[in-house]
Structure 1
Amino acid sequence: MQFQEKNPNTQWPNECMRIRCMGHELSLAECKIHYQEPVAEDTAVAVAKCYKETPGECKKFICANGKCLINGKPCNGVDDCGDNSDEMCCQKCRGQAFLCKSGVCIPRYTIKDGIRDCLGGEDEQDEKNGTKTKQTEKLFFDPMSEIRKIRTSTEDQLQCGVPNKEYVYKQEDDTTSHSRRKRLVGGEEALPTQIQWQVAIQDEGTIHCGGAYLGGCWVLTAAHCVRPKPKSFRIKFSLWKKHRKQSTTDSIPVKNIIIHHEYNAQNYANDIALVQLEELNLSDKCMQDNPAVRAVCVPWSTQQFQPNDTCTISGWGRDREGKSAAILKWANVTIISDCQNYYKDRFLPGMECAGDLEGKVDSCQGDSGGPLVCTDASGLSYVWGIVSWGDKCGEPNHPGVYTKVAHYFDWIRFNTGWPAVTKFNQ
């Protein structure tokens, strides 16, 4: 329905508010409302487009909500479907629309507007081609400013994914077959406080596994690294040399261990566990503030990172000769798609492959439970995977297999009880 003519008997105002809506809003308050503008003779005072189901077979794009897209075009940055399904799974975008790494097209005017519209936040980064973004016009009311305020307030309370770069390492810190093998080959030695979310899981005095610190009193690791006997475990933070603590090292007792209820030790399905730390006396904290310890973010979408993205693994695992590393090591690996080609039916939902198909870099025995960390365009780091298993460590065409953490986001949030476990999950 479109109003194009004005009734001469109606007293029209001299000025009118201009409102821009995308189609997914639930009320006018969610739209952009601009300053008043003069109403001329030919000004269209109101325009509303209503969808009427087209009879017969749809010969064009069918939206996820069943609408047949007749007038609009997919992948142009405009939500013609109403559920944005015409802007998803795009390999490229039409016109001036911006393509997110996750395959979603967004309008050009949303670039660098202060809100992350892409999962990885790349729409808020400087564009490589050096073109200047369009200046945001002055608004009478901009709901995005309210969103920014809410996010800023929430994010101030959620610290994750950014290491403490102000802490300077002090020299005195260094003075004090077909079988599944839990798989770092080809890595480099880390600096003493470089990987601030890496933890070591000590079982009966021995370290066999690693883990990732999520913040608060929670650590994430592989299910095969733990058992439901909390008193047998301790979690070591800011550990560099495996058998020698440094001045920033903390050793925290464990209060509870939550193993995924569908974990299968035979095929490593759902190989994920949460470790809850013991609180300090008369406190809800589990450790004193430590400048060398920071939490890593939990990813909430399985689309946040894509195949061919480069991420980092870390741990004290064995090298190609089978020798266990005494010093924490790290290496860059690439997310690999189509892992079924390498492991057939042993590659299950909730698993992710990463490594180097030439066999130059891999995680090996002793790295189990350790983090596979990916960093998005805005610089936030997420624990994308947990070292789980793999065959023929460091050999070509045998990438490491990781538990895909985003697949278990709801399970993590349910068990930790947090309303939000990432900076941008509001």
Structure 2
Amino acid sequence: MIAPPKRQESSGRSAKCWVGWLGALLVLALIGLAIWLGGKGRDVPVMTRHTINVYLLSKSLSSFFSLPLSCMWIVHYGSKMYSVHYESDCRGNDCKDQEQHETYDGVTDTCSNSSIQCDGIQDCQKAVDETNCVRFGEGGVLQVRTAKDGRFLPVCSQGLDQSYADQICEQLGFRRSYVSNPVDSKTSVALTVGPRSAKLIQGLVNVSSGCQDEKAVSLECTDCGKPQSASRIIGGSASQLGQWPWQVSLHYSGSHVCGGSLVSPDFVVSAAHCFQGSMKNSVYWRVYAGTISQNSLQTPYLLKKIIVNENYNNNNNDYDVALLKLSSPVTFSSTVQPVCFPTFDQTFTDGSDCWTSGFGTTQQGADHASTSLMEVKVNIINTLQCNSSLVYHGAITKNMMCAGDMNGGRDSCQGDSGGPLMCKGGNNRWYLAGITSWGAGCGQRQRPGVYSRVTSLLPWIYSKMQQEKP
């Protein structure tokens, strides 16, 4: 699987190159020729219908002129997603003369002037002030943000029963909790649960000087990251049924376009660049779960809503994440299971073995996606190395991570966009470390795959799940 799925291949950046107009004119001329030739004699695959990728032309010119990656050219066309703007992040008295506005496709949600973040009281129509108030730390320890000073503190296990656990998970967009357990916690400051008087956990907790029994609560909202099949062949090969049970195939107008990862019965995580322009319309999408072959697809699920990160930038692929809400919940089985979200502070160390999978092309430039679910083992690559002038020349943001092989040969490719980069945790569960996003070519030397870093995007994902909870 030298080039199993990748995503649309991205531009490095707008070049500040010393090679001037001559190079630009040559590129434009070659692009025009490529477009003219590309429209003759073959169909353009669905996965690239909204992107013209001229990487190969760029690479040739780059080699000729000895240009850095930032001088490579990619052409995108199509409409852009409207933005959501959180114009104020004030609290308490700081908000007296301000209002918070959330704009989505021209609709503005205004919060009250006295809104306080994470106090358990919804002051905004979409509850902007009560999102990003809950997270999970090491070992799944539940942490809640305090309204007073904005700190995240662990929640003591004493008094937090199953009904509280269910309430918290439902708040985050899950249907119920899976398991909660007390774990050792000797912190000097923690949160204790008070009488149930609010629907949100941040309205039920009080700051305390540690936990009375030195036990915090570890909470899991779903049984996740447990594939039913463990057989695997290293090197880029077809997956076994049940091996990656969270992998889904996203079809647009009847053809596979992108991948995604099932994270709950109601939600799939994918890449923002899969849903640009006319492809934002959920009516034309179908979600296939529990399949390893495009020739034997199961009954599809429909999409109720496509939520693209409002900060997504299709020039540099930053914030390349989307949350898909299903019209009906998925039924879990041995071949359909959710992947685990990482904790907010979970790290995936450089050099560690992870896996990526998808139905994308198995070689660069191929016209058609793979009919079989393919997989390949990749290594996490140091961000500084990946951002060096020899690799991606500063194009890697804090919301991205690199994985693959610096010598080439192990990578994702076109059609894998939105699919998972999975790493195994110490508890033998698989975590969604990254989302297949972009890259320069497929399996090329010193051009590893680039993935959206899930730990950086978790607050956004959880906030949207909370707003769209079933």
Q: Does 2:284 correspond to 1:232?
A: yes
Give the corresponding residue for 2:222: 158
1:120-199 pair list within 5 angstroms: 143=213, 146-147=215-216, 150-151=217-218, 154-155=219-220, 157-164=221-228, 186-199=235-248
SS for the counterpart of 1:231 is: helix
Q: Does 2:348 correspond to 1:301?
A: no
Q: Give the conservation status (yes or no) of the 8 Å contact 2:235–2:377.
A: no
Q: For the residues of structure 1 that align with 2:348 and 2:354, how far apart are their CA atoms?
A: 9
SS for the counterpart of 2:263 is: strand
Once the two structures are superposed, residues 294-330 of structure 1 have per-residue CA deviations (whole angstroms, 9 ceiling, x without a partner) of 1011123354212111111001121236363211111
Q: Give the conservation status (yes or no) of the 8 Å contact 2:408–2:446.
A: yes
Q: For the residues of structure 2 that align with 1:264 and 1:419, how far apart are their CA atoms?
A: 23
Partner AA of 2:412 in structure 1: S
1:18-37 pair list within 5 angstroms: none
Q: Give the conservation status (yes or no) of the 8 Å contact 2:353–2:380.
A: yes
Moved over 2 A (4+): 114-117, 141-144, 163-166, 287-291, 300-304, 320-324
Q: Which residue of 424, 427, 438 corresponds with 1:389?
A: 438
Q: For the residues of structure 2 that align with 1:336 and 1:116, how far apart are their CA atoms?
A: 33
Give the corresponding residue for 1:33: none
Q: Give the conservation status (yes or no) of the 8 Å contact 1:302–1:407.
A: no
Q: Give the conservation status (yes or no) of the 8 Å contact 1:252–1:278.
A: yes
Q: For the residues of structure 1 that align with 2:352 and 2:331, how far apart are their CA atoms?
A: 35
Partner AA of 1:268 in structure 2: N
Q: Give the conservation status (yes or no) of the 8 Å contact 2:355–2:375.
A: yes
Once the two structures are superposed, residues 329-349 of structure 1 have per-residue CA deviations (whole angstroms, 9 ceiling, x without a partner) of 111100101211111132222
**Structure 1 residues 116 and 311, CA gap change in structure 2 (3 angstroms):** farther
Q: Does 2:404 correspond to 1:334?
A: no
Q: For the residues of structure 1 that align with 2:468 and 2:308, how far apart are their CA atoms?
A: 21
Once the two structures are superposed, residues 79-130 of structure 1 have per-residue CA deviations (whole angstroms, 9 ceiling, x without a partner) of xxxxxxxxxxxxxxxxxxxxxxxxxxxxxxxxxxx9589xxxxxxxxxxxxx
Once the two structures are superposed, residues 129-184 of structure 1 have per-residue CA deviations (whole angstroms, 9 ceiling, x without a partner) of xxxxxxxxxxxx9935x54xx43xx43x5211222469x9xxxxxxxxxxxxxxxx
Q: Does 2:358 correspond to 1:315?
A: yes
From the CA coordinates, give the structure whose radius of gyration is larger.
Answer: 1
Q: Give the conservation status (yes or no) of the 8 Å contact 2:229–2:243.
A: no
Partner AA of 2:358 in structure 1: G
Structure 2, unmatched stretches of 5+, are 1-181, 186-210
Partner AA of 2:341 in structure 1: V
**Structure 1 residues 237 and 364, CA gap change in structure 2 (3 angstroms):** same
SS for the counterpart of 1:387 is: strand
Q: For the residues of structure 2 that align with 1:407 and 1:331, how far apart are their CA atoms?
A: 24
Return the structure number with greater relative CO, CA threshold 8 A, min gap 6. Answer: 2
SS for the counterpart of 1:415 is: helix
Q: Does 2:200 correspond to 1:200?
A: no
**Structure 1 residues 287 and 365, CA gap change in structure 2 (3 angstroms):** same
Give the corresponding residue for 2:174: none
Q: Does 2:296 correspond to 1:244?
A: yes
Partner AA of 2:353 in structure 1: T
SS for the counterpart of 1:344 is: coil
Q: For the residues of structure 1 that align with 2:441 and 2:238, how far apart are their CA atoms?
A: 23
Number of residues paired by the alignment? 253
Q: Give the conservation status (yes or no) of the 8 Å contact 1:186–1:362.
A: no
Give the corresponding residue for 2:369: 324
Once the two structures are superposed, residues 4-43 of structure 1 have per-residue CA deviations (whole angstroms, 9 ceiling, x without a partner) of xxxxxxxxxxxxxxxxxxxxxxxxxxxxxxxxxxxxxxxx
**Structure 1 residues 116 and 379, CA gap change in structure 2 (3 angstroms):** farther
Q: Give the conservation status (yes or no) of the 8 Å contact 1:387–1:401.
A: yes
Q: Give the conservation status (yes or no) of the 8 Å contact 1:389–1:401.
A: yes
Structure 1, unmatched stretches of 5+, are 1-113, 118-140, 169-184, 280-285, 421-426
**Structure 1 residues 254 and 386, CA gap change in structure 2 (3 angstroms):** same
SS for the counterpart of 2:394 is: helix
Partner AA of 2:439 in structure 1: G
Q: For the residues of structure 1 that align with 2:284 and 2:438, how far apart are their CA atoms?
A: 24
Q: For the residues of structure 1 that align with 2:360 and 2:184, how far apart are their CA atoms?
A: 37
Q: Give the conservation status (yes or no) of the 8 Å contact 1:371–1:383.
A: yes
Give the corresponding residue for 2:460: 411
More helix by share: 2
**Structure 1 residues 158 and 288, CA gap change in structure 2 (3 angstroms):** closer
SS for the counterpart of 1:211 is: strand
Q: For the residues of structure 2 that align with 1:419 and 1:327, how far apart are their CA atoms?
A: 32
Partner AA of 1:376 in structure 2: G
Partner AA of 1:162 in structure 2: K
Q: For the residues of structure 1 that align with 2:319 and 2:332, how far apart are their CA atoms?
A: 33
**Structure 1 residues 396 and 230, CA gap change in structure 2 (3 angstroms):** same
1:399 shift after superposition: 0.4
Q: Does 2:400 correspond to 1:348?
A: no
Partner AA of 1:399 in structure 2: P
Once the two structures are superposed, residues 48-82 of structure 1 have per-residue CA deviations (whole angstroms, 9 ceiling, x without a partner) of xxxxxxxxxxxxxxxxxxxxxxxxxxxxxxxxxxx
Give the corresponding residue for 1:269: 318
1:418 shift after superposition: 8.4
Q: Give the conservation status (yes or no) of the 8 Å contact 1:311–1:335.
A: yes
**Structure 1 residues 289 and 319, CA gap change in structure 2 (3 angstroms):** closer
Q: Which residue of 254, 258, 261 corresponds with 2:307?
A: 258
**Structure 1 residues 359 and 165, CA gap change in structure 2 (3 angstroms):** closer
Q: For the residues of structure 2 that align with 1:116 and 1:371, how far apart are their CA atoms?
A: 32
1:380 shift after superposition: 1.7
**Structure 1 residues 419 and 236, CA gap change in structure 2 (3 angstroms):** closer
